[in-house]
Structure 1
């Protein structure tokens, strides 16, 4: 399903944290949100999975305004892995993942054979099938992250909304998760801090800065040295990944952020008309 964000603004405690954002994730596309901390990524995602109400604008799911859908209906179409964690600590891993079946069931209805099959398959997809009987509270941070992703997959949604899904994961499981997202070919909105991960997995990137959408395009179009200096305040070179051909960002860890920003500003002034 196609997701469209139209003129979306979000205010928290009277302060605008996102203003007039417009973006589209086409059916089957992985659309990434990148930007510094506090740029509005999580606020945008929370409006898509209906944890927040926008102060202006709207989110369309296959052309329908999400605000007009019943919560259970939207939950059948949109599965989320948020940053905030629920109070699932007394449940088993299997019980946590089975919660993804809730939108399809009557209140207090027991799991049937189909629910159990889907739950088991979701656990297997994230490599946690052997932990089904363990307590969620006993898991490491990375294991919990994989279980919560399995819960979102168990919803069998048309759209996945993932807020920093690689948090707490070791390198192997980060790579496996990104490969899983590519394999799913499900419409996906994902916020990532790791720009190289974003470049490798996303079809399109949307860059947020200070609550505004400042760039959209393919990773190769968006991830330029100039944008990295202006938005992230870092000095970097963008080269070709030797294994995949994706853009690969090489950061200069010796250059202070202020120097990178000043360099970008000087380059922009030099390129301005009349100079």
Structure 2
């Protein structure tokens, strides 16, 4: 057996970049004993977690808890000191960059917001992993780009310059680029940043409707409770709790990890856990 692959691991599909039917190309992410250092400091220590196939898995925790660092390791921006990230049983470091990009699409926090490109050109960058050098767009590429722009409500802005957009509009365009990549796994670092309430709600509904394997960090605990199938709570670089949102988001954990006093009740419209914070007192 190869060192980077577990016994019985599934063979990764090559991926043609097209949307698949329900249940197809849903791959699982396993993070095993991950240690990641950044700027000479151990930021993630011994992290072990799962993003199940076809589910939305959330990372929550205070600022500096290691969420972004862990996600950067999943989409290969950082190399771990120890441990590994497995995609359907295969160490992602065994994959070529192009092959990895066909399977994992990322929306990082470091946005690269000075693109001198049109909105459509930015979204079309998501098709790059499927193209040979100097190859032009084909009909399938154009369809994927148009669909991604429509999904995020930016179809009418396709000819605009990316630099002319508001922060929220840029966020939606970069999310469309990730959608156009048609990867098996979405890795999203604070995707609701800069979005108004309406677009936050639409984005979360869109993620649930797609049912791609999704690993997402969120600051908004109520958003995490409503959209995620499973949560992992990070605190000082370690995973301190994992499970369904209603099992994880307890008043004692909120006080210990986030330093807030809160009650957890049932959302009157959805039945999801709803966190009511006490803004007058500490924990």
Q: TM-score normalized by structure 2?
A: 0.90
Partner in structure 1 of residue 242 of structure 2: 216
**Deviations, residues 139-168 of structure 1 (Å, cap 9, x unaligned):** 000000000000000000000000000000
- 1:153 & 1:246 partners in 2: Cα distance? 27
2:129 match: secondary structure: helix
Which structure: greater helix fraction?
1
Whether 2:160 is the aligned partner of 1:173: answer no
Alignment-derived partner of residue 71 in structure 1? 97
Aligned-pair CA distance for 1:108: 2.3
CA RMSD of superposed structures (Å) = 0.7
1:10 is aligned, of 36, 53, 67, to 36
Match of 1:123 among 137, 149, 161: 149
What is the number of residues matched between the two proteins?
Answer: 257
Question: 5+ residue gaps in structure 2?
Answer: 1-26
Q: SS where residue 142 of structure 2 aligns?
A: helix
Structure 1: stretches of 5+ with no match in the other structure? 261-275
Deviates most, 102-111 or 150-159 = 102-111
Mapped to 1, the partners of 2:41 and 2:183 lie a distance apart of 32
Is the 1:2–1:26 contact (alpha carbons within 8 Å) kept by the matching residues of 2?
yes
TM-score normalised per structure 1: 0.92
Give a deviation string over 1:88-127, Cα, whole Å, max 9, x none: 5210000000000000001222212211111001000000
Question: Is contact 1:238-1:249 (8 Å) kept?
Answer: yes
Please state whether the residue corresponding to 2:77 is helix, strand or coil: coil
CA distance in 2, matches of 1:212, 1:25: 16
Q: Give the corresponding residue for 1:269.
A: none
Larger radius of gyration: 1
* 1:25-104 aligned within 5 A: 25-86=51-112, 88-104=114-130
**Cα distance in 2 for residues equivalent to 1:215 and 1:75:** 30
Check whether the contact 1:32–1:191 (CA below 8 A) recurs between aligned residues: yes
Deviation at 1:48, TM superposition (A): 0.5
Residue number in structure 1 paired with 2:214: 188
Q: CA deviation at 1:79?
A: 0.5
Measured in 1, the distance between the counterparts of 2:144 and 2:114 equals 19
Within 1, Cα distance between the matches of 2:115 and 2:51? 33
Runs of 4+ in 1 over 4 A off after TM superposition: none
